[in-house]
Structure 1
Amino acid sequence: MSEETSNVPRELLESVRDAVGRKIKLGYKKKVKLEVKGDKVENRVLALASHRGYLLTARIPAKVEQTFNYLEIPSQYNPSQISLRLVSMEEVNEVVCHIGVCVQRICPALSPVKVMKKLSMEPPERIAALQNVWETQSSGEPGPCGGFSQQYRCVCDWLGLPYREEVQWDVDTIYLTQDTRELNLQDFSHLENRDLVAIIAVLEFNQWFTKLATKDYKLSADVCDQILRVVARSGRLEELVLDNAGLKTDFAQKLANALSQNAASGLHSLNLANNPLEDRGAQFAKLRKGLKHLNLSRTSLSPKGVNSLAQSLSANQSMPSTLSYLDLSGNLLRGDDLSHFYNFLGQPNSLSTLDLSNTDCSLDSLCSALLKGSLQHLSVLNVSKSVFAHRKGKDIPPAFKQFFSSVLSLSTINVSGTKLPPEALKSPSSLILDQKTCRSPVLSSDCKIPPLLLGLACNPSLKEVALDLSCCELRSGGSQILEGCIAEIPNISSLDISDNGLDSDMSTLLVWLAKNRSIRHLSLGKNFNNIKSKNLAPVLDNLVHMIQEEESPLTSLSLADSKLKAELSIVLNALGSNGSLTRVDISGNGMGDLGAKMLAKALQINSKLRTVIWDRNNVSPQGLQDVAAALEKNFTIRFMPIPIIDASQALKASPEKTEDALMRMENYLFRNHETRKYVQEQAYRLQQGIVTTTTQQMIDRICVKVQDHLNSLKNSEQDTILEDVKMAENLMKDARNSKTLLPNLYHLGATSRKELNGSSAGPIQEKLDSMAGEVAQVMDEQLQVTSYIKSL
């Protein structure tokens, strides 16, 4: 195609506008000649709009013969396509420059050269000159979310799909307001699949969004193909979440191929959970930058598929230093044919979270592998519902204990639902915990501990460990093991031993749990179901004694699903004056209205609790009313979920009464989240009432004891004793004064707040002003002295 220098006549230009559409603004118009056959040429008009170019006939009425979107400029030359050839270099520069300016407006964060993948100009300095022009004409602000709406409009034009103003409004308003980088397809799930194709296609060019996510929404084949295209071309996409998206079994393979084609890919987090990928899993050997987060849970992988995955992870040189999260939960990993997987875990790696829950994997084989390569970074280990493949009469593999004693960063261990053999519960006689072996000064030399607990107790690197032993069928034997060691393990901060059939053994176990100084979160639910009524009260009394201990470290207690019924009142009565617990879960106990009444009384005087969970307790509308009335007087509860199950039953009996109670609860909880002065005053008064019965009484008792000793020493004639007596008397005087110090400080603080809100200055403000004046005077004197010295 060659071009003439003449401009487009006015009449022809009007016809061109009619052919293209009056709503489309044409920024560049030029009359050209098209080479058709041999040396034969015909007149044509080249018109360039904001995101599309047009080639039209040069006669009236003008007709569009060819049109192309700037985003579809081919990356490879194809002889069958029309080639635009212009005579002069300046004219070529004009056309390329105009297209580049338009492309830059569409994709402000990308270079036009990158979008127009095949741009070759001789000499190369011409491209550099054009880039300077594009940079000078670039707009400062790309628009909301990296100019998404402009890109979306262009993509819809490119794909021939309708432009949805709803999509533009959602992104420009909601997404921008939330300042989110995640494009969630569920926000647009009510649209047609073709609309989703256009939305996803924008991510090929958009530099704002770094995450594409969907969950529990089945994606069509067209949508999946577009996602693969974005993965193969985008350098900005970092996270891809397609959870339960109905993906086909070959999607993972296609995804791996797409990643291997994109050298600039920034993808580091991949979640394909709950899709039937089977053993045709993804291969990541060619992923240049590796992955940080990989979730393939419940994808029907077998040991064969996991081995294949592990081989690809091992073959990737970046994976050992990048992969920190691996979730393969819900896949069947039973058997010994996992050599490649264990080899991968046995190599030095950066895994911080490993989830193999509900896989039936071999726990002892796993620990042997982790001992070799996963000691430094592993923080969360979830192996619930695993298998301890151990033969009866054989010793526990040393690696099982060695792993827990050597790991450096472990903070969460979940072995829930794993039935350990007796050999794992009862440590061999050779495993005796002493100070020399375990390097812990707090452990006695005759404490025998099961290998897992022995490993934790022997590990000086672990400080705050959450241990989940729920549903492990510990029963009486397990209770005895815990009794013998739990008091002296210093690094367990959270312990879950719920649903272990402990029953009557709980009475003694609670005594030993009370002696532990590190456990702050304790779950005991489902362990009271088989206790006879006459034996239940002593168990609960020991529980009350544990939570009422003055220096108790316990801050969270769960008795969920224990079916204590009216006996729960023994614990509820102790909550009123409790000064340590901030969270309690008493759901599923069937306590009825009597329990609701006891809970209400406790809430009226407790100022420490922040969270109470109490559903499934057979509470009637009256019980809900009692608790709502108590919340009116409680200003410290922040989180108290509506008891949905009980409320649904109560609504059938008395809708008005139930709705009123629920509304009041919600209002009081909302009030407690607000900052108000009277909240502090109310909490202080409640605290004072509790402190009077605890700390202040303790001071009084100590003073009485000291006074008795002083009375017996007053007749002594030794000077050293008399000096000690005088010192003790002064200390007693200070102790008595301290009981009145806190109220005085509080009222002074309240006075200072009033001074700040009011115009009058109180004594504190006057003192501060006086001190400020004195400081200013001293500074002036020092400055004068300095000036005098410099003048000499």
Structure 2
Amino acid sequence: MSDRDDFSELIGSARNVTKCSSFYFNGRIRYGTKGEKVEERFLCMNAFRVYICSIKIPVKIESQFNILSIKLIDRTSDSHVIIETEEKQVHSLYSLHDKASIQPFLLILIRNLHAVFPHRLQAIVEIRPENEYDKLLRLSNEYYEDILNGIRPCGGFSVRYECACDLYQSSCHKYVQNLIDNVFAHRVSREFTFREFESLTQKDWLPIIHALRHNEWFTKLTIENTKLSSENIDELCTVTRLCETIKDLRLVNCGLTKDFGTRFGHCLSVTCVENLDLSNNTLEDKGLINLSSSLQQRKLPLRSINLQSCSITHKSLQAFHTTLMNNTCLLKNLQTLNLSGNRIKEENCITILFSNNDNMLEELHLSDVEFSLESTSHGSKQIFDIIFNKISP
């Protein structure tokens, strides 16, 4: 059997074990294993995943990673590249021969990454040397046809979703992609809603949420009346931390508890969200206190906050309002605050809002609270919306 026949058999075996009908790249390389040992391996890649396989037939997958997990690409020489992933794994790839180049693999890898992140790749993946990215992208444009060329609906969300499905090894639902490309893309509001995906499991939601991490299209994210899994809550926190375009975040009646205050608090100080709706979640005092602590460090404005029916009391509102008073950026920009449906028994935690002339509040919703609003409404002209209150005699 010739070398060509051997290589064809190797490719066939690799396709079988990886369940890939075709590869974007395949070839023999040398791969750094334990210590400084370097051994021959078979490297192959489809649109979203890289495989390092044995060279013995039947082929076995020894290592693999999704391109979304790549954090660093370091081209140390023409024949050597180091790839680091989120899992803190280091993949050291060498060309099969010292005089050969590993550039063909790099060109395709950069091309695939650029297809997923056409405008933000350099901000997501560190590429060394610093001038290497432009060079590799130019060469890849020259050698490989861009099958995704042109403007893609919703900034290419469907491609990122499909890649995220591969990352989580979950099913890619074509109707999700069709809905995004043909319905969501025509929304003037650029709102991403999840009510259309209620038939899917929480596990199926995970890659959808992940695909919003580096979104540049949608400006509003809404999830209502669905209890979110812990994993999806964590992913939402990551999305709000990384995404710069989502300004409105509505998580209404999503089963969020006091622990959410701590988890979401880590990103609240840096998120670009300006309108936050957490209504009808049992955040309780502990949750609001944790959120308030994070707000102290926030340097970006918040326009509106909805905490209606969040099981909070005057105890946590004292901490929340103190944070507002001490953060001039928040105080000067907050226009709407909804505290309706909470067990607020002391009015001083409301009147404190109006003791500072920097206060720009235009709407304060206080329906269904537990203290008399007569003195508050008379003394604070900026309270414009106090309706359906249980005012004590």
1:215 alignment counterpart: 224
Structure 2 counterpart of 1:160, from 169, 172, 180: 169
Provide, for residues 693-718 of structure 1, a one-character-per-residue CA deviation record: whole Å limited to 9, x for no partner: xxxxxxxxxxxxxxxxxxxxxxxxxx
2:107 alignment counterpart: 97
Distance in 2 of aligned mates of 1:337 and 1:363: 11
Q: CA deviation at 1:305?
A: 0.9
Structure 2 counterpart of 1:334, from 329, 335, 345: 345
CA contact (8 A) 1:45 1:57 kept: yes
Q: Which runs of 5+ in 1 are unaligned?
A: 1-5, 375-379, 387-416, 422-792
2:308 alignment counterpart: 297
Q: CA deviation at 1:259?
A: 2.5
SS of aligned partner of 1:383:
coil
Distance in 2 of aligned mates of 1:68 and 1:158: 8
1:317 aligned onto 2:322: no
CA contact (8 A) 1:359 1:385 kept: no
1:196 alignment counterpart: 205
CA contact (8 A) 1:45 1:56 kept: yes
Q: Which has the larger radius of gyration?
A: 1
SS of aligned partner of 1:31:
strand
Q: How many residues align?
A: 367
1:186 aligned onto 2:189: no
1:668 alignment counterpart: none
1:48 alignment counterpart: 45
1:240 aligned onto 2:238: no
CA contact (8 A) 1:244 1:274 kept: yes
CA contact (8 A) 2:268 2:298 kept: yes
Partner AA of 2:254 in structure 1:
A
Structure 2 counterpart of 1:345, from 329, 343, 354: 354
Distance in 1 of aligned mates of 2:201 and 2:251: 18
1:16 aligned onto 2:14: yes
TM-score (normalised: structure 2):
0.82
Structure 1 counterpart of 2:184, from 175, 178, 193: 175
1:355 aligned onto 2:362: no
Provide, for residues 59-100 of structure 1, a one-character-per-residue CA deviation record: whole Å limited to 9, x for no partner: 333222111101012477789723224367994554443222
Question: Judging changes above 3 Å, is the alpha-carbon distance between structure 1 residues 255 and 135 closer, same or farther for their aligned structure 2 residues?
Answer: farther
Q: CA deviation at 1:369?
A: 6.3
Question: What are the equivalent positions in structure 2 for 1:24-39 lying under 5 Å apart?
Answer: 25-37=22-34
The one of the two structures with greater contact order (alpha-carbon pairs below 8 A, sep at least 6) is: 2
Q: CA deviation at 1:277?
A: 0.9
CA contact (8 A) 1:71 1:115 kept: no
Write 1 or 2 for the structure with the bigger share of strand. 2
CA contact (8 A) 1:313 1:319 kept: yes
2:75 alignment counterpart: none
Provide, for residues 221-278 of structure 1, a one-character-per-residue CA deviation record: whole Å limited to 9, x for no partner: 2322222222232222221111112111221232121233x4xx32111101111111
Percent identity (aligned): 26
Distance in 2 of aligned mates of 1:79 and 1:55: 16
CA contact (8 A) 1:107 1:206 kept: no
Provide, for residues 482-521 of structure 1, a one-character-per-residue CA deviation record: whole Å limited to 9, x for no partner: xxxxxxxxxxxxxxxxxxxxxxxxxxxxxxxxxxxxxxxx
Question: What are the equivalent positions in structure 2 for 1:361-760 lying under 5 Å apart?
Answer: 361-363=371-373, 365-367=375-377, 370=380, 374=382, 381-386=384-389, 418=391
Provide, for residues 105-137 of structure 1, a one-character-per-residue CA deviation record: whole Å limited to 9, x for no partner: 1233x3222232xx2413x22234345557888
- CA RMSD after TM alignment: 3.1
Q: CA deviation at 1:368?
A: 7.0
Question: Judging changes above 3 Å, is the alpha-carbon distance between structure 1 residues 383 and 112 closer, same or farther for their aligned structure 2 residues?
Answer: same
Q: CA deviation at 1:186?
A: 1.6
Distance in 2 of aligned mates of 1:303 and 1:318: 23
2:128 alignment counterpart: 121
1:307 aligned onto 2:318: yes
Write 1 or 2 for the structure with the bigger share of helix. 1
Provide, for residues 318-348 of structure 1, a one-character-per-residue CA deviation record: whole Å limited to 9, x for no partner: 213321111111122222552xx53333321
Partner AA of 1:270 in structure 2:
L
CA contact (8 A) 1:270 1:295 kept: yes
Provide, for residues 573-620 of structure 1, a one-character-per-residue CA deviation record: whole Å limited to 9, x for no partner: xxxxxxxxxxxxxxxxxxxxxxxxxxxxxxxxxxxxxxxxxxxxxxxx
Question: Judging changes above 3 Å, is the alpha-carbon distance between structure 1 residues 314 and 197 closer, same or farther for their aligned structure 2 residues?
Answer: same
Question: Judging changes above 3 Å, is the alpha-carbon distance between structure 1 residues 37 and 115 closer, same or farther for their aligned structure 2 residues?
Answer: closer
Q: CA deviation at 1:365?
A: 4.8
Distance in 2 of aligned mates of 1:130 and 1:219: 41
Distance in 2 of aligned mates of 1:248 and 1:74: 33
Partner AA of 2:283 in structure 1:
L
SS of aligned partner of 2:298:
coil
Distance in 2 of aligned mates of 1:79 and 1:53: 14
CA contact (8 A) 2:221 2:250 kept: yes
1:599 alignment counterpart: none
1:273 alignment counterpart: 279
Distance in 1 of aligned mates of 2:134 and 2:379: 55
Partner AA of 1:233 in structure 2:
L
Provide, for residues 370-405 of structure 1, a one-character-per-residue CA deviation record: whole Å limited to 9, x for no partner: 45xx5xxxxx7112355xxxxxxxxxxxxxxxxxxx
SS of aligned partner of 2:268:
helix
CA contact (8 A) 2:31 2:94 kept: no
Distance in 1 of aligned mates of 2:378 and 2:105: 67
SS of aligned partner of 1:86:
strand
SS of aligned partner of 1:84:
strand
Q: Which runs of 5+ in 2 are unaligned?
A: 73-83
Q: CA deviation at 1:204?
A: 0.8
TM-score (normalised: structure 1):
0.43
1:151 aligned onto 2:160: yes
Distance in 1 of aligned mates of 2:213 and 2:312: 31
